[in-house]
Every structure is written in C-alpha cells, then in structure tokens.
Structure 1
Amino acid sequence: MGVLAALAILAGLIVVHEAGHFFAATWQGIRVSSFSIGFGPVLLERQRRGVQFALRAIPLGGFVAFPDDDEDSPIAKDDPDLLSNRPLHQRALVIAAGVLANLLLAWLVLVGQGLVVGIPAGFSATPGVLVSGVQPGLPAAAAGLQPGDRIVGLAGEEIGGGQQAVAALVEQIKGSPERTLPLIAERGQQRLQLRLTPDDLAGIGRIGAQLQPNGTEIFRPARSPLEAIRQANRDTSLLLRRTAGGFFTLLTHFGETASQVSGPVKIVEMGASLAQQGGGSLFLFTALISINLAVLNALPLPLLDGGQFVLLLLEGLRGKPLPQRFQMAFMQSGFVFLVGLSLVLIVKDTSQLPAVQQLLGH
C-alpha cells in the first residue's frame, strides 16, 4: 500500500504540472492538441473537444502538445489561436504555469497538513539522532552506519534529543572535513563504536546520510485557518530555499554530489517508507516532491520549462524567433539527455534496493 500511495502521489504531481500548462493555454484561448502523461506509444486515449488525452508507455513525466508542433495539422499557420502566434507574455505564462502549479500545490498541501494533522509542536524526543538513510560509497556507509541506527555519542560527547541535537550534529560534521570523528551508535541492542571521516566539499564536511530527531513528531490543532496558512508560508519558503540550494550545490560541485542524485525508484521507496509512518509524513513528502519538480523544471535545460523560457527570452532579445532547426536540435538533445539520465538513475536506485542487494549477496 505504501508503494501504491507513493506512485499515486508522483503521478498526481506530474498531472498537476501538465494541467498548469494546459489550463494556462486554454484559459487564454490557445489551441491545444494533446495532454499526455508519459512518453512513447499510447496505451489509453480519449478525444474531447479536439484534444487527445493520453496515457503513454514510458512513465517518466508528461507533456502538453500544440498544433504548432504538428507539420500535418490542418490548422493554418497564421491562425491567431496558435501558441506561436501569441504575444511573448502569453507564451511565457503557458511555460511558467507548470512550475507555478507545483508550487501552489505544495503550499495547499502544507495548509492541509496544518488543518488536518495540526501544527508541528516539536518531538517527543529521546536522546540520540536517528539515521534514516545512508548513501552508498560515502563516509557514513564507509564508517558502517546503517538506516535505523541511533547516534548517541560523537567525539566523546553524548548527544541530546530533538531537532536541536540534529542541528548540533550536522554543524559538527560540517566543521570537520577530512577529520576522523569517533562516534557511538546503537543498533537494536548493540552498542557500536565507529569512526566517521566526513568528505571535504568546498571546505564543508559531508557524510552522505539523512539524519532526523529520534522520537515522534508532535502536532497540535491549529488555532485558526490563518495559523495553518502562516505555517504553510514558512514551510513552503524553507523547502523552496533548501531545494534551490541543493540544486545549486549539485550544479557547482557536480563531481562531488552526483552520487547523491536519486531517480523515481528512490523517490517511490522514500514515499512508501513515509506512507507507513502515517501522520504528517505523506503531506510533507508530497509538498517536498512537488517543490523539487518545480525547481527542476525551472532549470534552463533543454526540454524543461526553463529551457523553453530561455528560447523565449532569446526571441524577445532578437525580435524574432530562433531558427526552427536550432530549436529542434536544442529540444531533441534535451530529450536524449533526460531519458538517458532517468534510465541511469533507475538502474542505480534499483540496484541499491535492500531486496536487490540481498539477491546479489551484498
């Protein structure tokens, strides 16, 4: 059930993103030829008011197509309702609408969390910091840490509880690049003494592990809808800053951070784990993935919304569209890159699943 919930959320976020493009176009009277979830051959389709709604075979995203892209379209090239014949600001709204839809959805989900689950009020903390995930090949894994371990001591000092303990531990790790730190971890009834040596990422230590407070998050009822909205504003802003910062670090230090990039398999695995935890976990997972989709699509890369926006900006600066041959080459290169990257990530993430590792004897 957890996997199904995660898959449903991921599919729903893709639908919301593409719906943003679709409704921004139709609201302005711009012709749309198809609304597709996935790529490749059509599995299911339905025609409605001249638009093809389709589910396709390769579940790696989706797209909204326009008659402008179809050389065999019976619609005249000078039709004023074609996207390419609309003013720049109308086309810019269509391109930006997918990102805006994901950001709006994330905010609405966090408002819903405040109204349904409540406002975060800390943790019923017990001493220690919980290791919720470990990246293979990085210092945490090399030290012997495993998901589910509880770090209770570092560098000869006991670790307290709650979010403050996580923040203090993270700061100590960040300030100790390439310095060996003795730590004490508990795994079930075992007490382990391990040695952790953070990598040096531009002068900042990192270990490749996800850390969280050891305990259960406490929620209290929102005093009013306004309080839930204010909390959602803060959480959305925080998640957006952290996500954008993460992508910036990836782009500026790709060699050091590429191993931390995850694909759809890892996302579904994480969502399934959160679904089993219940409470506000799925709300936060939905908001976080929606914001990640928004930031990812805003990057100025071919085939992504950001890449389309770059072409539109260049058209505005030149006063006329770029040559069609250049635009096609730009988009096709992006398609090959994104599909290739997705396949690599799927293989990598699948090989790291516990069941596959067990099958391989690791």
Structure 2
Amino acid sequence: MTAAIIFLIILSALVLIHEAGHFFAARLFGVKADEFGYGLPPRIVGMVKVGKTWKKVSAKDQKKYANTIWSFNWLPIGGFVRIKGESGENETDPDSFHVKPIWQRIIILAAGVCMNWALAAVLLSAGLMIGVPSLTDGIPEGAIVHKTEVTIGGVLPGGAAAEAGLQPMDILVSIGGVQANSLDQTRQEIFARGEAPVEIVFERGRDRMAVTVTPKYVEELGRTGLGVSLLDTGIVSYPPVLAVKNGIILTGLYTKAVVITFLDLFRELLNGDGTLASQVSGPVGIAAMTGDVAERGFANVLQFTAILSINLAVLNFLPIPALDGGRVMFLILEGLRRKPMNRRVEAIVHNTAFLILIALIILITLRDIGRVFGG
C-alpha cells in the first residue's frame, strides 16, 4: 500500500509538471487555458476567478469562463490542462491555440517534455547533493565519500552465491565474522576460506540477513569461488555547483540511454522479436519497483523519479499520434503544406491512436499483475 501511495505521488508530480509546462507556455503566447485540473475527470469541484472574487464551479457547470478553472477530479492520477482551441473549438478566437504561428504552437506542445527534462536535472542534482550510492573508483575531484561499502555487482547463474540466494545490489556486511570494509580486503577474506563453508551477512534494502555459502569451482575463473563480482561503492555527495553540473550531464546520459532503448524496442518489434517488449512495465510494474527503490532511501527515490521523468519526456515526444510528438509532427506537415490540416481527420487519427495506446497499457498492466501477484 505504501509503495502504491508513493507511486501515485510520483506519477501525479510528473504529470502535473508536464501539464504545467503546456500551461505556462500557452499563457506566455496569449493562449487561454480553459481548465487546469489535478486528477482525471469527472470533476469533484473547481474554482475560477470572476472579477475580484473566486467562484465555486460544480461538476455539472459547463459554462465558459474568462479565466482558468482550477479543479480537483475524481481519479487521483496526474492531471490535465485544456488549452482553448486545441481540440478545434473556438479556433478562430484571438486567444485560441490554432490562431498562433506554428512555431509558437510547437513550443507550447514541447514545453511539457522540457519541464520533465528540467525536473529530472533538478532531482538528479538534489540527489547528488544529498548523496547517492555510487562507485568510489574514479569519482570526480571535489566529491565526498560518506560511507564505503562492498556491493555485489553481479551473480553467476548456478554459482555458490546464486544458490544461496544472494542478488546483485546486496551489500556485504561481513565474511565469516570479519567486517567487509574494502573490496581488496573482502576478496582476500573470501580466498582465504578456500572451499570451506562461510557465513555471509548482507543487507538488502532495510533488511539484514545471513546465509551460509559453500564455494564452488568456477570454470570462468579456473578456481574455487563464490561466483560473484564485487564493487567498491559508497554514498557519494557533491558540492552544489558540481552537483548541478553532474545532474545536467546525467540527464543527458539517461536521455541517450532511454532513446537507444526505444529505438532497440521498435527495431525488435519490426523484426518480430519480443525480448525487450517482454521487459516493458506498466503502472503496476512500476509501482512494485517504487516500493523496492523506496526501501533504499530518499536519494534513490529522487533518482528513480528523475529516470521516470526522462522516460515520460522521451515517450511523449515520439512522433506517434495522440502524443505531443505526434501533434508536433502534424504541425510540421501543416507548415510544409502551407495550409491547415483537416481538423476532423487529425482528430480521428489522434483518437484512434489514443485508443490503441490505452489498449496496450491495459495489456501490459494485466501482464504486470500476473508477474507481481502471480509469483
């Protein structure tokens, strides 16, 4: 339940930031926002400024007001902004979306994903100031290591560690009663045990556990071992200027990685390979991951939220109808044709694509439910 609440808070923040980008860009260019809502309709209640006073707007009130309606809605997932004229109504009014130059409309549409990228940079920078788990080898000058740990980077399938239940990202506490203080010292302690069973105490999230592992011969190494790769890690923090610099750099690197992943996904789908597609998670899968991340601390939640924000930005700006990228694509076509697109045809294309996207989300969600609750 806690994981679901944290996930809803994160998702709502990401969507509201996205919609706020559209809102502020629209207002910058004199386009009216009919309504800005938290959650998805139907409306619970709204408020709108009429003259110098605020008026309550009921769920049944469909009247057009001169100012923006600020509303709370029944489905507490994200939010929305209704830009005047975006759906084709009142599109000849001077404060309507479609009367503005194409470049202004593109900026309004792109502002949402830009806000998601900006949010990611802010969150990553904040996480770097607080301190995040990181490799301590080759950290930039000026970085501060608060706590050193020996972390399992990988587990060999079928190896002694895998059979004992050890997993990547487990933090080693002790080997046979000897504290795991550094990578070299821990390796020496493991090798000194030979083939004798050894008790390993480790941390996974907030839990501390112990297992007894009997080393096995590892063909890849040509000797007996646990079958793990170990990393020197620590809680690394940065001064503000360095944190902001690295936060921006990380945002670019994560964006590149996400774009490459999407390209690989589309390439596999075209080739009939569903390997990556089988790993895609929907709301339920991400909510389950949120719980695991939350156990690792606040800085990890910031980093996870930043990565989700980048994913949302990239996904939203793909040239797919119904998404911001698809709408920008239609505006570019409008500019090339030098005349407006057929609004009815454009609406049919976007609505059809939206229904297909919803169907895909439902299928992925059903698969995630089977994974999470079906064992």
Does the alignment reach a TM-score above 0.5?
yes
Q: How far 1:279 sits from its partner (Å)?
A: 4.6
Structure 1 residue 110 corresponds to structure 2 residue 129: no
Aligned to 2:115: 101
Aligned CA distance change for structure 1 residues 57 and 301 (closer, same or farther; 3 Å): farther
Q: Distance in 2 between matches of 1:86 and 1:343?
A: 36
Secondary structure (helix, strand or coil) at the match of 1:253 reads: helix
The answer for unaligned runs of 5 or more in structure 2 is 50-65, 137-147, 170-181, 185-209, 217-227
* 1:277 maps onto 2:278 in alignment: no
1:302 to 321, 324, 331: 321
Aligned twin of 2:94: 80
Using the alignment, how far apart are the partners of 1:317 and 1:351 within structure 2? Answer: 47
Q: Deviations over 1:168-210 (max 9, x none)?
A: xxxxxxxxxxxxxxxxxxx9446699xxxxxxxxxxxxxxxxx
Would the alpha carbon gap of residues 259 and 43 (structure 1) be closer, same or farther in structure 2, given more than 3 Å must change? farther
Question: What is the DSSP-based 3-state SS (H/G/I as helix, E as strand, rest coil) of the residue aligned with 1:259?
Answer: helix
Letter of the structure 2 residue corresponding to residue 24 of structure 1: A
Report the residue type matching 1:87 in the other structure. P
Q: 1:328 & 1:252 partners in 2: Cα distance? A: 28
CA displacement at 1:127 relative to structure 2: 5.2
Deviation digits for residues 306-325 of structure 1, max 9, x if unmatched?
00001000000000111112
Deviation string 1:68-116 (CA, Å, 9 cap, x unpaired) is 2567x6x5x5322111000111101100000100000000111111222
- What's the counterpart of residue 245 of structure 1? 260
Q: State the AA in 2 paired with 1:348.
A: R
Query: Structure 1 residues 308, 191: CA separation in 2 closer, same or farther (over 3 Å shift)?
Result: farther
Equivalence for 2:143: none
> Quick check: which has more Rg, 1 or 2?
2
Query: Would you say 1:337 and 2:337 are equivalent positions?
Result: no
Query: Contact 1:46/1:53 (CA < 8 Å) preserved in 2?
Result: yes
Q: Is the Cα contact below 8 Å between 2:35 and 2:83 reproduced in 1?
A: yes
- How far apart are the structure 2 equivalents of 1:278 and 1:113? 11
**Retained in 2: the 8 A contact 1:130–1:214?**
no
Going from structure 1 to structure 2, the CA distance change for 1:213 and 1:281 (only over 3 Å counts) comes to farther
TM-score for the superposition, normalised by structure 2: 0.69
Question: 2-side partners of 1:228 and 1:9: how far apart?
Answer: 22
Per the alignment, residue 249 of structure 2 pairs with 234
Counterpart contact for 1:42–1:55, Cα < 8 Å: yes
C-alpha spacing 1:286/1:130, structure 2 compared with 1 (3 Å): farther
Asked if 1:219 is matched to 2:235, the reply is yes
Given the two structures, how large is their TM-score scaled by the length of structure 1? 0.71
User: Across the two proteins, how many residue pairs are aligned to each other?
Assistant: 297
Q: Which moved more, 1:330-339 or 1:289-298?
A: 330-339
Partner of 2:197: none
Q: Which has the higher helix share?
A: 1
Residue in structure 2 matched with residue 29 of structure 1 by the alignment: 30
Q: What CA distance in whole angstroms lies between the structure 1 residues aligned with 2:358 and 2:31? A: 29
Are the aligned partners of 1:299 and 1:306 in contact in 2 as well (CA < 8 Å)?
yes
Show the counterpart of 2:14.
13
2:144 corresponds to? none
Amino acid at match of 2:343: Q
Question: What is the deviation of 1:251?
Answer: 0.9
Aligned to 1:291: 310
Match of 1:258 among 255, 268, 277: 277
Change (3 A) 1:270 1:88: same
Q: Which residue of 1 aligns with 2:42?
A: 41
- Whether the aligned pair in 2 keeps the contact of 1:119 and 1:231 (CA below 8 Å) is no
Q: Percent identity?
A: 30
Tell me if structure 2 keeps the 8 A contact 1:38–1:61.
yes
User: 2:57 is matched with which residue?
Assistant: none
Deviation readout 1:22-45 (Å, 9 max, x if unpaired): 111012211111224454533443
SS, match of residue 64 in structure 1: strand
